């Protein structure tokens, strides 16, 4: 944020003094004092201003569809460590549409991901091309109960799914991993490779057909459990060879799979589940083009999901495919620090994604134990941590950061283009209640006076040093 002296905005304050003041809800968080509900005092509007943001609610950009996190097995196991009452409170704090984060769009894995208890797929019977042994019984132990508890709180929650790895017998290596690591997997060294753009999936028709059937059976099995899968993202990080469940694809082969097999299969089975190209974790738009520009792939694909280095591609994809929905699919998970610095970094990610067309934003692990470790050795952040020894529950800074947006920016709101000192601010407009929401971060250690000019109405507040602030302004 840039400090400035006086401007024409100061003159507007004097003329606005006699106007009916807008209603302002203001919540602020610092590292030491989180989620403080502050009182807006219009009498302070005559003071000098450090920062100025001008907002016109006619300058509308993309629609926001929602916020969420990922249902993971280790998250459910962590929740099992606390009392039923504490568990319910945590779930309410994530999913309640009145008092919580109001999460409404959440992710789940198809088979094991790196935060599963161990490796599994829904059919590990080799060469079972008819999927006779397909089963989601494993998910009935953790993932389905996790989702159903969320559904009790928000029956309208949407769940989308992505595989980290197909059934292992569909890969050349017959193994879930792509990179050998004797400490965490038994992948033979001869099959270990971090080379990109080379498919580890066996790209033969009978394997493509079986894999499309696998997706269809997954969607239908979940429907029978009362969980509608709103979308599938065809491969998590299709360029990344990991020591945990993963599968590298040549993007052209993904195009073949979607256009010639998965799309037609969903259509034949009359599934309403959307198909997305995700999750993109590289900055090269060419790797998106190679999928979408194969035959009629684009006709089947509703949107594109991005995470990690994929943030470098979203701007170009948004420009080239303006009708595509865009999602930030997995906020970068850090190294388990769960500190204020991590929240600052995530705020910058939010800023980047929404400024470049994202319609929704996903956290990764909502809940973990205090170690934050996956079964494959990577310690990562979570919104909430539960100590496996003391059973103490800790709400980390990123929990509050997510809530600063998700609790105020309702689905159907639109991102607004603003001007002025916007380097550390985002603005949204909800037409349904004529309300503007601004998330502003004061990244300095000193208090800053922020003046918002919204449709020529002035709101001025003092932001504490190093604080996230949500200002929900109901317009006259």
For residue 248, the enclosing domain spans: 65-408
The answer to whether residues 217 and 272 belong to one domain is yes
Better-predicted residue by pLDDT, 260 or 13: 260
Q: What mean pLDDT do residues 292-314 have?
A: 98
The answer to whether residues 82 and 221 belong to one domain is yes
Largest interatomic CA distance in the chain:
77
The answer to whether residues 352 and 458 belong to one domain is no
Encode pLDDT of 66-78 as tens digits: 999 999 999 999 9
Q: Is residue 3 part of a domain?
A: no
Tell me how far the alpha carbon of residue 82 is from its chain's centroid. 26
Give the pLDDT score at 278. 95
Give the pLDDT score at 404. 98
Question: What CA dihedral angle connects 338, 339, 344 and 348, to 10 degrees?
Answer: -20
Average pLDDT, the chain: 95
Encode pLDDT of 373-424 as tens digits: 999 999 999 999 999 999 999 999 999 999 999 999 999 999 999 999 999 9
pLDDT category at 282 given cuts 50, 70, 90 is very high
Residues facing residue 458 across a β-bridge: 453
pTM listed for this prediction: 0.95
Encode pLDDT of 137-189 as tens digits: 999 999 999 999 999 999 999 999 999 999 999 999 999 999 999 999 999 99
Residue 13 above 80 pLDDT?
no
In 3D space, the residue among 384, 383, 347 whose CA is nearest the CA of residue 467 turns out to be 347
Q: Where a domain ends, among 356, 391, 408?
A: 408
Q: Is residue 1 part of a domain?
A: no
Residue 284 above 60 pLDDT?
yes
Residue 14 above 50 pLDDT?
no
The answer to whether residues 155 and 248 belong to one domain is yes
Tokens 């100061």, located at residue: 10
The answer to whether residues 80 and 103 belong to one domain is yes
The answer to whether residues 304 and 330 belong to one domain is yes
């Amino acid at each position: 944020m840039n400090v400035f002296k006086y401007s024409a905005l100061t003159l507007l304050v004097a003329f606005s003094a006699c106007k009916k003041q807008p209603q302002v809800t203001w919540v602020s968080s610092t590292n030491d004092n989180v989620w403080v509900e502050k009182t807006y005092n219009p009498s302070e509007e005559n003071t000098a201003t450090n920062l100025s943001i001008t907002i016109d609610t006619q300058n509308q950009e993309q629609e926001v569809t929602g916020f969420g996190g990922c249902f993971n097995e280790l998250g459910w196991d962590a929740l099992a460590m606390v009392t039923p009452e504490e568990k319910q409170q945590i779930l309410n704090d994530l999913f309640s549409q009145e008092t919580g984060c109001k999460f409404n769009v959440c992710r789940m894995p198809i088979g094991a991901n790196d935060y599963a208890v161990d490796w599994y797929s829904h059919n590990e019977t080799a060469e079972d091309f008819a999927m006779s042994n397909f089963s989601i019984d494993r998910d009935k132990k953790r993932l389905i109960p996790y989702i159903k508890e969320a559904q009790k709180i928000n029956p309208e929650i949407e769940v989308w799914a992505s595989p980290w790895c197909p059934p292992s017998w569909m890969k050349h290596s017959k193994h879930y991993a792509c990179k050998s690591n004797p400490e965490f997997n038994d992948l033979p060294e001869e099959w270990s490779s971090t080379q990109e753009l080379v498919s580890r999936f066996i790209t033969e028709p009978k394997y493509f057909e079986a894999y499309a059937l696998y997706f269809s059976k997954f969607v239908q099995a979940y429907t029978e459990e009362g969980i509608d899968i709103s979308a599938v993202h065809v491969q998590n990080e299709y360029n990344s060879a990991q020591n945990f469940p993963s599968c590298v694809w040549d993007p052209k082969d993904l195009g073949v799979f979607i256009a010639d097999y998965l799309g037609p299969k969903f259509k034949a089975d009359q599934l309403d589940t959307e198909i997305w190209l995700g999750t993109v974790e590289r900055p090269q738009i060419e790797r998106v083009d190679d999928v979408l520009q194969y035959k009629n792939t684009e006709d089947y694909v509703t949107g594109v999901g991005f995470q990690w280095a994929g943030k470098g591609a979203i701007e170009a994809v948004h420009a080239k495919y303006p009708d595509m929905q865009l999602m930030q699919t997995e906020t970068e998970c850090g190294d388990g620090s769960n500190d204020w610095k991590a929240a600052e970094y995530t705020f910058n990610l939010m800023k980047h994604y929404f400024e470049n067309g994202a319609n929704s934003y996903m956290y990764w692990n909502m809940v973990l134990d205090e170690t934050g470790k996956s079964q494959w050795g990577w310690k990562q952040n979570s919104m909430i941590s539960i100590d496996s020894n003391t059973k103490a529950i800790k709400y980390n800074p990123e929990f509050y950061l997510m809530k600063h947006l998700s609790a105020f920016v309702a689905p159907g709101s639109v991102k607004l283009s603003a001007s002025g000192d916007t380097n550390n601010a985002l603005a949204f407009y909800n037409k349904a209640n004529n309300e503007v929401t601004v998330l502003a971060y004061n990244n300095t250690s000193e208090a800053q006076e922020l003046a918002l000019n919204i449709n020529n109405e002035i709101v001025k507040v003092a932001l504490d040093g190093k604080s996230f602030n949500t200002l929900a302004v109901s317009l006259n």
